[in-house]
Structure 1
Amino acid sequence: MITTSRPRLLRALTGVAAAALLTLAGLAVTTPAHAADGSKPIKVAMFNDIDTFNPFTAVLLQSTGINRYQYEALVGYGRNSEPDAGIADTWDTSDDGITWTFHIPKDRKWSDDTPITADDVVYTYTSIMKTSALQAANGGLVTNIADVKATDPQTVVMTLKSAQAPNPGQEIPIVPKHVWEKQDPAKFAADKDVVGSGPFTITTYKTGQSVELKANPHFWRGEPKVSGVTYVAYKNSDAAVQGLKSGEVDIADGLTPAQYDSLKGAKNITRHAGIGRRYQALAINPGAIDIDGKPMGDGNPALKDPVVRKAIFMAVDKKTLLDRVLQGLGDEGQTEVPKSYENYFGFAEGHEAVPFDLDAANKLLEDAGYKKGPDGIRKKADGKPLKFRLMGRNTEPAHAQMADFLTSWFKDIGIGLDVSMVTPDKVNEDSTLGKYDLYFTGWSLGPDPDNQLAMNTCASRPNADGSGNTSENNWCSPEFDAAFKAQHAELDEGKRQELVKKAFSILYEAYVSDPIWYIKPLEAYRSDHFTGFGLQPEKGGVILNQNGYWGLYEAKPVSSDSASSDDDGGLPGWVIPVGAIVVLAAAGGAIVASRRRSTGEDRE
């Protein structure tokens, strides 16, 4: 996931305009309640931003989530996130691990009925490898690839610079060469009449209103049982919940514990709490630098001191935040790997979390020479107070709640906070350019941690204007880079698990990203409209925000005589979360689409 050649800043203006429209209108697009009907698309509520649907540059959660329905990688993820067929159905590796060969069946077609060939794969990979502007989303995944070639229309051969553990065919969305070679790929919006390989493709996008997708009749697994998917934009999750209750939308995720609780017993609404793959963290600006090693942004210089950053870690009571803000619906954060990926979860031997300890944090700062003034705020030797800006998303109620707690705890250790809740797009733009002190962030991880680690290497620092690669923490460490390379090259899975934990432990002890919790995703859907949603993982998984497309792909309309009641449990069917409205409709169905970005993946 990355950025576009540029103008994230230009896109930011689009997001701001959309936010203003939604604020004025409340619900940007109102769609009437509908009875279950095969001709109706699944309507998904969304209240996060979209940066772009260009798979080379999309990094926000809504955007990348929708794109998982449109573009397959060479190798996909099965119902339990295991490697599974995608564009390729089989692949093999040479004994030395240097050469990977992927085989594309002749039944693979683009949504316009054009055959998918090895040339499409070569075009996609080489475009990323050779063009900085196309490396924002997945540039870190191709750094070890020396060459990609098509030996025949159905065979792709990748030659690596050195053996690696991650499958190089995963995570990179393949685009149709016959469409993209006629465009400037760095500027191509790819937000209407999209040609894709997945179960749904965008037909139209209306910024701040909706995104419409239609079912792909040429999808190799079979055409979906619903005509399409429509993402409907709401100004916040409260409005989305009201839309769910009234039947204006069919499914919503990203619910707060209070909203989730309010739906208990609601007629024809089923609640679902699944296993998450996302962490929520407090990010600290350690002194952002661009790819050329030059300072960027306007972070407070005091945060360059690891003592100050460690004291901040010590002033965050994660248990209280989990209990009071999430009502216990999650797990305390450790490293950036969620508990759902148990093989990579936790600290390496000899490393541990910094405990919440205000007395110890005060002593640490006092011993380092940061003395409290008459107002209780500590100052550096140069007389500058430890006052920092804390930024969060105005679409996330939890951010404002956490900020209240942090303000109190930080005051106790002599640190002042200036809290600002802004649009998701503003958070993304400012964090990319290093224009922050502290902010709430988060990412959704795939089954292999390699890409998450890659975003923290020195090579992932962006250009001065924010283009190029995507850096998670605007941080660079030779020690971490060495740890990243070690886990990347280790082919013994048991040994690699320990190396991955070591790399994440080094990142944690740099005190630039403090994982607060791993949230349990809270979803709800209209059980009188759709059923059959596919969970990932199959046992206790989620419907939306998956590593794949199973949630909405397997959904089907509920017959009029079998509509479910209000029992929590089953899964009627449909879609992904986004930042505006996205509608997936069958060929000939109406389509509306929306654009603009927000956190991970959503970066957040």
Structure 2
Amino acid sequence: MLRKRIVAAVAVAALAALSACSPASEPSADGGGEQILRYAPAMFPVSLDTHKFAGEEAVQTAIQQIMEPLVRVEDGKIVPVLATSWQNPDPDTWVFKLRSGVKFSDGTPFTAKDVVASYERHKKLDGPLVPLYATVTSFAATDDQTVTVKTSKPLGTLLSSLTLLFIGPADKINTDGFFNKPIGTGPFSVTAFQPDEKLELAANPTYWDGAPKLNKLEFVNIPEVAGRITALENGEVDVLTQIPPDQVGEVKGSSGISYETTPSWTYYFDWFNSNRKPFNDKRVRQAMWYGLNLEGTVKDLFGDLASVAQAPLAQGVIGAPKLAPYKYDPAKAKQLLTEAGYPNGFSTSMQWPLEGGPNIRALAQAMISDWAKIGVTVKPLEKERAQWLEDFGKLNWDMNLQTNVTGTGDADYTLARLYVCSAKRNGYCNPAVDKLLLDARSSVDQAQRPKLYEQAGQMLWTDAVGIFPADLASNSAHRSRVQNFVMPPSGRPLFTKVSVSGS
């Protein structure tokens, strides 16, 4: 507690320079002043290069204020953004008609060539989302207002994948330094950006959907949770997200602050590295799951902010199956370990990123404690995010605990991106799972796809490719001066329609 107070005090001191012009002291629009909103995200963007860091939620949250996709998900449906309509003249062809009269924030007209250039750059960088477009054979500008996509076989997930392809100007997007101050068609433009430090945005007055209410939007980096909460209470910031369960009471009890929870596409998972013994044996992986009292742990650590997972992805996602959670059964766990040749258990390790999710350290500790009861000794490896990312990508780990978000809201984004053999994410490979997931991806029958995901999900569940402890709810808190703030299931708030009033 003392440490938290010290950190909070330091954070307040660091923000003291802002206090003279803090959001709470800014006059409202009615008073003729600027509308300024300051947002303190739980994780700050390391870059604005959305094509290179396409899977990073912090990057996506930031870039969607500046650049836009062809379509996005709203209320579980695909809705137009820079595309106004689309059709399938044949099963292997998609034709998109683009919104006319749209300009980038520098005044350059938006055309189909910009969409193609953004796709080609994303593909060239070979980022984590490129496999979503594996069957795309051509991506072309038919004319200035039309984009035609050809695929080698039907691609039922193209629309959901395109929700994360953000568009920049073709003649500038490949220039050095472009993403230090990217240009887009979105509601805001960048005035200053320093990775892991600050992001300052200004309203785009010529935005095609109407200029935003806010004149300025600032992302403020306050690494410690206690510092973020103190800043919210003191009016130094206006909006917080991802508030840890053990801090919720403090936020909810503060006057002038609104607290909300909403459904989420975020979940926890603990992968096994199936390339390494003993996790190359399905019985060992199953034993580890049976050895966990997840119902008790999730309730104790998260309360109403989480529920025990029922699939390898969150329940709110389109196509998510509903499977029976593994029951807590230490005796069965020991039996499986014995059958696998480990009657006396074994020693291993588990890594997770520092500040990598709500109560992640406590969750790891609870799991490690349960495993000790079945004879498995687990070394805890909490790592700085940069080191964790490097080791994670190289499969330099035994078990890996983290949160994940199904970014497009479609099961394909998680299942077919992470669990096909070619993904090589965790050493797991099952050709039968591959077939189901790729069939689901290619199907344009939206009623058929969930049936395929249910079969694939059950295989992943039975094979225990990992342990899926919990689905997480989103939570957020904002000062009462903030209007129209909405936290979507993606966890990526968009500030286009948000406004602020007087303090």
TM above 0.5: yes
Question: Are residue 367 (structure 1) and residue 360 (structure 2) matched?
Answer: no
Give, in whole Å, the separation in 1 of the partners of 2:265 and 2:175. Answer: 37
Decide which moves more: 58-67 or 356-365. 58-67
Give, in whole Å, the separation in 2 of the partners of 1:394 and 1:82. Answer: 32
Cα offset, 1:207, TM superposition: 3.2
Q: How does 1:289-328 map to 2 (within 5 A)?
A: 300-328=276-304
Give, in whole Å, the separation in 2 of the partners of 1:190 and 1:491. Answer: 35
* TM-score, with structure 1 as normaliser: 0.75
* TM-score, with structure 2 as normaliser: 0.89
The aligned amino acid for 1:485 is L
2:309 corresponds in structure 1 to: 333
Cα offset, 1:24, TM superposition: 12
Alignment counterpart, residue 421 of structure 2, candidates 435, 458, 483: 458
Q: How many residues align?
A: 482
Structure 2 residues without counterparts, runs of 5 or longer: 1-6
Give, in whole Å, the separation in 2 of the partners of 1:47 and 1:286. Answer: 31
Q: How does 1:117-266 map to 2 (within 5 A)?
A: 117-129=111-123, 131=124, 134-168=125-159, 169-183=162-176, 190-192=179-181, 194-266=182-254
Pick closer, same or farther for the CA change 1:106–1:485 going to 2, 3 Å: same
The aligned amino acid for 2:461 is Y
Question: Are residue 481 (structure 1) and residue 477 (structure 2) matched?
Answer: no
The aligned amino acid for 1:102 is F
Aligned residue for 1:224, secondary structure, equals coil
Alignment counterpart, residue 554 of structure 1, candidates 488, 497, 501: 497
Pick closer, same or farther for the CA change 1:406–1:191 going to 2, 3 Å: same
Give, in whole Å, the separation in 1 of the partners of 2:57 and 2:263. Answer: 17
Cα offset, 1:396, TM superposition: 4.4
Q: Contact 1:318–1:333 (CA<8 Å) still a contact in 2? A: no
Structure with more contact order per residue of length (Cα contacts < 8 Å, sep ≥ 6): 1
Pick closer, same or farther for the CA change 1:416–1:440 going to 2, 3 Å: same
Q: Contact 2:318–2:409 (CA<8 Å) still a contact in 1? A: no
Pick closer, same or farther for the CA change 1:366–1:535 going to 2, 3 Å: closer
Can you list the C-alpha shifts for 1:255-285, whole angstroms capped at 9, x where unaligned? 1222111122311111111111111111222
Q: Contact 2:35–2:213 (CA<8 Å) still a contact in 1? A: no
Structure 1 residues without counterparts, runs of 5 or longer: 1-21, 288-299, 373-377, 379-384, 462-470, 537-541, 564-604
Q: Contact 1:100–1:158 (CA<8 Å) still a contact in 2? A: yes
Pick closer, same or farther for the CA change 1:440–1:49 going to 2, 3 Å: farther
Between the two proteins, what is the percent identity of the paired residues? 21
Decide which moves more: 474-483 or 64-73. 474-483
Cα offset, 1:26, TM superposition: 4.9
Give, in whole Å, the separation in 1 of the partners of 2:142 and 2:341. Answer: 65
Cα offset, 1:553, TM superposition: 1.3
Give, in whole Å, the separation in 2 of the partners of 1:355 and 1:506. Answer: 17
2:484 corresponds in structure 1 to: 532
Pick closer, same or farther for the CA change 1:262–1:25 going to 2, 3 Å: closer
Q: Contact 2:139–2:148 (CA<8 Å) still a contact in 1? A: yes
Cα offset, 1:211, TM superposition: 1.3
Give, in whole Å, the separation in 1 of the partners of 2:253 and 2:378. Answer: 41
Can you list the C-alpha shifts for 1:22-48, whole angstroms capped at 9, x where unaligned? 999657655323335342431111342
Q: Contact 2:245–2:358 (CA<8 Å) still a contact in 1? A: no
Cα offset, 1:88, TM superposition: 1.0
Aligned residue for 1:151, secondary structure, equals strand
Question: Are residue 387 (structure 1) and residue 348 (structure 2) matched?
Answer: yes
Pick closer, same or farther for the CA change 1:191–1:506 going to 2, 3 Å: farther
1:566 corresponds in structure 2 to: none
Pick closer, same or farther for the CA change 1:508–1:65 going to 2, 3 Å: farther
Can you list the C-alpha shifts for 1:202-230, whole angstroms capped at 9, x where unaligned? 32222332111222223221111001221
Cα offset, 1:535, TM superposition: 5.0
Pick closer, same or farther for the CA change 1:417–1:525 going to 2, 3 Å: same
Pick closer, same or farther for the CA change 1:388–1:272 going to 2, 3 Å: same
Give, in whole Å, the separation in 2 of the partners of 1:448 and 1:557. Answer: 33
Question: Are residue 545 (structure 1) and residue 491 (structure 2) matched?
Answer: yes
Aligned residue for 1:501, secondary structure, equals helix
